[in-house]
Amino acid sequence: MSTPQTHDRAGQLAGAQDLIDVPRLVSAYYTEHPDPSVPGHRVAFGTSGHRGSSLRLSFNEDHILATSQAICEYRVANAITGPLFLGRDTHALSEPALLSALEVFAANGVEVRLDSRDRFVPTPAISRAILAYNRGRTTGLADGVVVTPSHNPPADGGFKYNPPDGGPAASGITNWIQDRANAILEAGLKDVQRIPATRARTLDSVSGYDFLDHYIADLPSVIDLDAIRSAGVRIGADPLGGAAVDYWGEIGDRYGLDLTVVNSGVDPTWRFMTLDWDGKIRMDCSSPYAMASLIARRDEFQVATGNDADADRHGIVTADAGLMNPNHYLTVAIDYLFRHRPQWSANAAVGKTLVSSAMIDRVSADLGRRLLEVPVGFKWFVDGLVEGSIGFGGEESAGASFLQRDGGVWTTDKDGILLCLLASEITAVTGSTPSQAYSTLTERLGDPVYQRIDAPADTRQKAALSKLSATNVTATTLAGEEITGIFTEAPGNNAGIGGIKVTTKSGWFAARPSGTEDVYKIYAESFQDQDHLSAIQQAARAMVDAAIA
């Protein structure tokens, strides 16, 4: 078993040697062409869309032209005839990719809505725009595209499709788009319809939409901003150079909050970032290394927050505890919301992914709420959020969203801005920071130890892990405790988890193959102590290795 080796410069400010060559990156986007016979050059369109870099021939204009044409054809095949909301984050490849997509969408007659300020658009603002447009409609529905690789390094690009439900696309949709895009690549792009971007912008079918104004104007429907203002909560917000950069200042000004934007800079090299654990620049707001600059200023604020490049993730920093573990904050958010949202349905469930902390299970039981445990991926929460049958959906990777105060849907994609504002509401209403609130919960419900580690596995072994059944596990105990459950399907929806989860009274582990490396990931948690966690991890590896041998 291994834990990642921390780089000796992790947490230090990026130097000249760490910065990307932006002109070279953008030039490669236009001048380099992928070979679709090479697996790494093909479109790989998963839940988070297609990601890659022009320097690796995995994110070039050919990919975006093919994927955009595939999306147009998917819209036709599924009678999606409303506007397509199109936005981008601050990565260097996002603006070129947005223009390439616009040329294809416009040529195909798609009604496109671009940001009227010609600025950056967070993922939750796209989700919110789609839902707002589609409310009360059954035909002529809208969808959207966010050009973002999320928290990935500066050399990467990303292209994500959100269907009319506003959330991450389900696998049936992404597989369709991916397969068609690769067929278009293989055919030399001959099926791509395209007009110049300058002409596209003059068409009646292409118009502006003020994402920032619509999103911020609706915030009182989901967050108690009056309480935050009245309590005078001192807030520090760091967009980490991402798409939320304009949003935080406007939120503070419009609602009279004591809010400081600690870094309003936008730079495609991200030279103002501190290096992540592996020495790379990465806008991961759940990483203490990437968030080192904000953590160093924690005494200036009651609550300090960070977002990744498309603002679908959150990081919460308090003066008393520093950067909160994402699982800890999700637990606190759930406990607070279900006690302070009286208009939510009594049947609204708590949604969690199966690798999130079991503290969420204990809090849900304490609240008397149904727990919906699903596979990894926010897409599993979409229908429940739309229907109001899920009050809160969250992932251990610091992504979550929840219902409006009246029980209506807010977003069906992760909303990092929302979760950051919630930390201030919790502080304002309860008088305790989220980290203090978590300490109080552990006194009643236990104080778990959680960790994710990697174990080596080749392609055959990873495939075997993804197809395991409960009968492949013959052990009856785990780390000295009787096994209470063996799962290869998520308890909440019976969907395959692509791995296995084993539970006991005071601990659990889940194992899933990595999609990018020759390893499998072991998530484990103990409600006893670190030694018990280590025993779970050792037993987990032995159990999995035996099952996939």
345 with 367, same domain?
yes
What's the pTM value of the predicted model, to 2 decimals?
A: 0.96
Q: Which amino acids are annotated catalytic?
A: 150
In a domain, 342, yes or no: yes
Residue-wise pLDDT for 245-292, tens only, equals 999 999 999 999 999 999 999 999 999 999 999 999 999 999 999 999
When pLDDT is averaged across residues 153-168 and rounded to a whole number, the result is 97
187 with 278, same domain?
no
In a domain, 11, yes or no: no
Please identify, among 445, 477, 502, the residue that sits at the C-terminal boundary of a domain.
Answer: 445
Domain count, the chain: 3
pLDDT of 3? 55
CB 290 within 8 A of CB 240: yes
What confidence category does residue 514 fall into, taking pLDDT thresholds of 50, 70 and 90? Answer: confident
**Where are any strands of DSSP class E within 229-272?**
235-238, 259-261
Task: Specify the residue for token string 């300490």.
Answer: 439
Residue-wise pLDDT for 31-51, tens only, equals 999 999 999 999 998 767 899
pLDDT of 39? 92
Burial of 343 (0-12, 13-18, 19+ CB in 10 A): exposed
333 with 273, same domain?
yes
What confidence category does residue 193 fall into, taking pLDDT thresholds of 50, 70 and 90? Answer: very high
In a domain, 528, yes or no: yes
When pLDDT is averaged across residues 403-416 and rounded to a whole number, the result is 98
Distance CA 464, CA 462 (A): 5
* Alpha-carbon distance values, 288 to 245, 285, 293, 415 (Å): 20, 8, 9, 20
Checking if the pLDDT of 2 tops 60, the result is: no
Least confident of 104-108, 116-120, 144-148, 515-519: 515-519
93 with 223, same domain?
no
89 with 107, same domain?
yes
In a domain, 3, yes or no: no
pLDDT of 476? 94
In a domain, 30, yes or no: yes
Residue-wise pLDDT for 90-119, tens only, equals 999 999 999 999 999 999 999 999 999 999
In a domain, 2, yes or no: no
In a domain, 12, yes or no: no
When pLDDT is averaged across residues 462-484 and rounded to a whole number, the result is 91
Distance CA 237, CA 259 (A): 7
Q: Which domain holds residue 150?
A: 17-209
| SS3 at position 84 | strand
CATH number of the domain that residue 353 is part of: 3.40.120.10
CB 66 within 8 A of CB 33: no
Distance of CA 23 to the CA centre of its chain: 28
pLDDT of 516? 64
440 with 453, same domain?
no
CB 132 within 8 A of CB 377: no
Please identify, among 209, 228, 253, the residue that sits at the C-terminal boundary of a domain.
Answer: 209
What confidence category does residue 473 fall into, taking pLDDT thresholds of 50, 70 and 90? Answer: confident
Share of the chain above pLDDT 70, in %: 99
Distance CA 378, CA 419 (A): 15
365 with 291, same domain?
yes
State the chain's maximal CA–CA distance in angstroms.
Answer: 69
Residue-wise pLDDT for 416-445, tens only, equals 999 999 999 999 999 999 999 999 999 999
In a domain, 328, yes or no: yes
Please identify, among 402, 417, 445, the residue that sits at the C-terminal boundary of a domain.
Answer: 445
When pLDDT is averaged across residues 66-78 and rounded to a whole number, the result is 98
What confidence category does residue 304 fall into, taking pLDDT thresholds of 50, 70 and 90? Answer: very high
State residue 317 phi and psi, 5-degree precision. Answer: -120, 130
224 with 187, same domain?
no
254 with 398, same domain?
yes
